[in-house]
Amino acid sequence: MTDELETEREDGRRPPRAVVGSHRIEEEMFGKVFDGNIVKRIWAFVRPYKKQMLIAVFAVLTFTATQLAIPLIIRYAIDHGIAPGTEDHSALLYSIIAFAAAILINFGASYVQETVVGRVAEDVLFDIRRAMFSHLQRISLSFMDKTEVGRLMSRLQGDVNSMQEFLETSVLSVGDITLLFGIVGVMLYLDFRLGLLTLAVLPILFVVRIYWLPRARIAFMAAHETNSVTNGALAEAIHGVRAVQSMDRQDINFTLYDDKAHANLRAHLTAAKYAQVMVPIVDSLTGVAMALVIVVGGSRVLNQALDVGVMVAFLFYIQRFFDPIRSLTLQYSVMQRAMASGQRLTEVLDVPIDIIDAPNAKDLTAEMDGSVEFRNVVFGYDPKHPVLKHVSFKVNPGETVALIGPTGSGKSSAMALVHRFYDVQQGEVLVGGHDVRDLTQDSLGQQIAMVLQEPFLFTGSVFENIRYHKSAATREDVIKAAKTVGAHDFIVKLTEGYDTELGERGGNLSLGQRQLISFARALVADAKILVLDEATANIDSYTEMLIQKALVRLLENRTGLVIAHRLATIREADRIIVLQNGELIEIGNHDQLMANGKLYSKLYNLNYSSFDDLPDEELEAATSGDFKT
């Protein structure tokens, strides 16, 4: 096999099934140049800074005016104070005074403009980001489930940043357009014919630029794209290095990566050609304009039809007037990018918030009894396909109820409804005797502690993770909770005990340890009702034992609703609810269910230590026996 591989590669052929990196589908980078609706939405964020923006625009105009004035002052000094034949040399002094005034105004205006624009752009950027982030905190979970975190992050970062760029650019564009028209106006004013002649090169540049822009953009995009492709392949090599080495793919991968890196090189060289080809064109046109001024303007100076200072001023203006054209074409791309980003931002901001507190919502107090009741509940993420069908049951205060059933039976949905993550389509969910829709979400959240299947820890110390948002909890409370769930022993063995910083998502802890910390967190939250989704992931038997013990402690004196997978947990429960296909099919304690001989007893008798170890066909056999119709 090795030999075959070597010879094949010498032919230049690549293995048919080998790829490195993946081709990411890029989002639309450019939108329309201008979209009224989006601009209106963005304007809403700028409005609080309206005064600053007005100041900025005023400063830009002033700044541009002084830029325009400087060659004029030089012209005046030459023609009226310096050039041979001028008698009154005081004009030079006046010019210098005017010059000094102009540059001081220029200094002030540029200072004001750049400070104000720079700061406002940053402010708006942070405001938009905050608005989105806070909106995301309220959006329904079904939207969050459907949307990748990475995608949302690119809204919060990339798209928001291009808004900032857009804002800065808009103000600059005002300046550039003013400068362009100002130069044209001043030149025509100084000498109409010479002005017209010199400006004749402008349309040429426009035409060239228009021809060049779409082609250049394709080349730039290609370079950008190959960058992300090669970087993606590199990232893959880093993350998958262990798999690569264990399957000995280094050589093939190197060849494939070389292909990508080489394509990247070629794309960049092409892009560089496109970028640079404009340089001699602009320089040549500048040369043509200056040559025209020298020949035509010069001969008019000779005929005394033109002051020499005007000719000098023309030469100065010519050196400046390509700058605004260049930056305006760049700003064109920025605008398009901003419109595409703005479109995506408004999409997120427009996602409706389904679950809001009712106008007369009450707070759920700690004095409530802690009961949970489902009354004829029908619910589906898609109303046409309900995952819970007319489910009714009541969990009495202090009782522990185990919810069991095969995957897709509706257990997790039932759990989410208690916390009002979603609203039911029919029936009602009551907590402490109140319909959850009549309660404020915050107070409901405070009375319900939840432990999710996948323990999620935040970056920060162990202490901070256990305390989480209960900032009133003392160190003693935290340690007590950790001791209760049996996490204390391993925590103190960490390098810095409770102050040990956890890596990304608690990466330096084992799954079982993370589970125990999340138990401690729920304990500190000290809620009357505990909703718990037991971990299914395989945890070694020793930690498993700790977790089982912790669970018993956690449920003491609380109403517990547990999605249970382990038989140990199930048997501990006061009552067991068996769900299948969204319907409640059995309810009762272990002994009762064993006695009635239905699904539960069949599963139990298969003698597995966990319901998740059940092979599919055994489960099928057990269920079909009962429900074959």
Partner 1 sequence: MSSDALKRAANRSDSLAHVNAAGWGRGLFTLVRITRMTLRHPWQTTFAIGATLVAAGLQLMIPRLLGHAVDQTQTAMAGGVAGKIAESALLTTALILLTVSILRGLFTMVQNYFAEAVGHHMGYELRLACYEKIQRLSFSFHDGVHSGDLITIGMLDLEGVRMYFSTALVRTILLAMLIGLGAYMLLSTDLVLGLVALSFVPFVAWRSSVTQLRLRATWLELQERLSVLTRVMEENLSGIRVVRAFASQVYELLKFDKASHAALELAHKRVGIRVKNTSAMTLSFFAAMGLVLWVGGNKVIAGEITVGTLTSFLTFMTILQMPVRQLGLMVNAYARASTCGTRLFALLDLDVAIKDAPDAKDLEISEGILRFEDVSFSYPQAAKRPVLQHLSFEARRGETIGIVGRPGSGKSTIAHLIPRFYDVTGGRITIDGQDIRNTTLRSLRQAVAVIQQDAFLFTTTIENNIAYGDPWATEPRIERASESAQLHNYVLGLPMGYDTVVGERGVSLSGGQRQRLSIARTLMLKPAVMVFDDSTAAIDAGTEQRIRIAMRRYAKDRVTIVVAHRLSSLMHADQILFVEDGRIVERGTHESLLAAGGRYRALYDLQVRPDDNIAATTKTEARV
Residues 87-116 that bind partner 1 (CB under 8 A): 89, 92, 95-96, 99-100, 103-104, 106-107, 110-111, 114-115
Footprint on residues 474-533 left by partner 1 (CB under 8 A): 494-495, 503, 505, 507-510, 513, 521, 525, 531
- For partner 1, what does the binding mask look like between residues 156 and 185, x meaning CB under 8 A? xx----------------------------
- DSSP symbol at 557: T
- Of the listed pieces 199-207, 209-217, 282-290, 333-341, which binds partner 1 according to CB under 8 A? 282-290
Footprint on residues 541-580 left by partner 1 (CB under 8 A): 541-545, 548-549, 552-553, 556, 566-568, 571-572
DSSP strand pairing (400-404 vs 575-580): parallel
Query: Contact, 421 vs 592, CB < 8 A?
Result: no
- If the CB atoms of residues 471 and 624 are measured against partner 1, the closer one turns out to be 471
Q: What is the closest distance, in whole angstroms, from the C-beta atom of residue 618 to partner 1 in the complex?
A: 7
Give yes or no for residue 61 binding partner 1 (CB under 8 A).
no
Q: What is the closest distance, in whole angstroms, from the C-beta atom of residue 332 to partner 1 in the complex?
A: 22
> Which among 606, 604, 485 is positioned nearest to 556, based on CA atoms?
485
- If the CB atoms of residues 249 and 389 are measured against partner 1, the closer one turns out to be 249
Q: What is the closest distance, in whole angstroms, from the C-beta atom of residue 89 to partner 1 in the complex?
A: 6
- Could you tell me which residues come within 8 angstroms of residue 512 by beta carbon, excluding any fewer than 6 positions away? 539, 540, 543, 544, 546, 547
Give yes or no for residue 585 binding partner 1 (CB under 8 A).
no
Give yes or no for residue 44 binding partner 1 (CB under 8 A).
no
Give yes or no for residue 472 binding partner 1 (CB under 8 A).
no
- If the CB atoms of residues 191 and 572 are measured against partner 1, the closer one turns out to be 572
Token duo for residue 390? 């007319």
- Could you tell me which residues come within 8 angstroms of residue 260 by beta carbon, excluding any fewer than 6 positions away? 20, 21, 226, 229, 230, 233
Query: Contact, 350 vs 136, CB < 8 A?
Result: no
**Could you say which of 607, 624, 628, 629 contacts partner 1 (CB under 8 A)?**
607
- Of the listed pieces 269-277, 335-343, 380-388, 397-405, which binds partner 1 according to CB under 8 A? 269-277
- If the CB atoms of residues 290 and 368 are measured against partner 1, the closer one turns out to be 290
> Roughly what angle, to the nearest 10 degrees, separates helices 250-292 and 192-199?
160
- For partner 1, what does the binding mask look like between residues 410 and 429, x meaning CB under 8 A? ---------x-x--------
Give yes or no for residue 191 binding partner 1 (CB under 8 A).
no
SS3 state of residue 30: coil
Residue located via tokens 């210098």: 96
Q: What is the closest distance, in whole angstroms, from the C-beta atom of residue 235 to partner 1 in the complex?
A: 6
Distances (CA, A) of 375 to 429, 539, 577: 6, 36, 15
Name the helix (H) or strand (E) containing 230.
helix 201-239
Size of the site for partner 1 (CB under 8 A): 173
> Which among 558, 375, 352 is positioned nearest to 451, based on CA atoms?
558
Distances (CA, A) of 160 to 224, 238, 460: 20, 29, 27
Query: Contact, 482 vs 491, CB < 8 A?
Result: yes
For residues 515 and 44, give the distance between their C-alpha atoms in angstroms, rounded to a whole number. Answer: 44
For residues 41 and 128, give the distance between their C-alpha atoms in angstroms, rounded to a whole number. Answer: 11
For residues 99 and 83, give the distance between their C-alpha atoms in angstroms, rounded to a whole number. Answer: 18
Residue located via tokens 């391993």: 490
Footprint on residues 117-146 left by partner 1 (CB under 8 A): 118-119, 122-123, 126, 129-130, 133-134, 136-138, 141, 144
Distances (CA, A) of 62 to 94, 104, 328: 21, 11, 19
**Could you say which of 36, 238, 350, 359 contacts partner 1 (CB under 8 A)?**
238
* Amino acid sitting at position 17: R
Give yes or no for residue 204 binding partner 1 (CB under 8 A).
no
Give yes or no for residue 347 binding partner 1 (CB under 8 A).
no
- If the CB atoms of residues 212 and 608 are measured against partner 1, the closer one turns out to be 608
**Could you say which of 52, 142, 154, 231 contacts partner 1 (CB under 8 A)?**
231
Q: What is the closest distance, in whole angstroms, from the C-beta atom of residue 213 to partner 1 in the complex?
A: 18
- Of the listed pieces 345-353, 474-482, 535-543, 594-602, which binds partner 1 according to CB under 8 A? 535-543
Query: What number of residues does the chain have?
Result: 629
Give yes or no for residue 254 binding partner 1 (CB under 8 A).
yes
Give yes or no for residue 623 binding partner 1 (CB under 8 A).
no
- Of the listed pieces 204-212, 325-333, 368-376, 539-547, which binds partner 1 according to CB under 8 A? 539-547
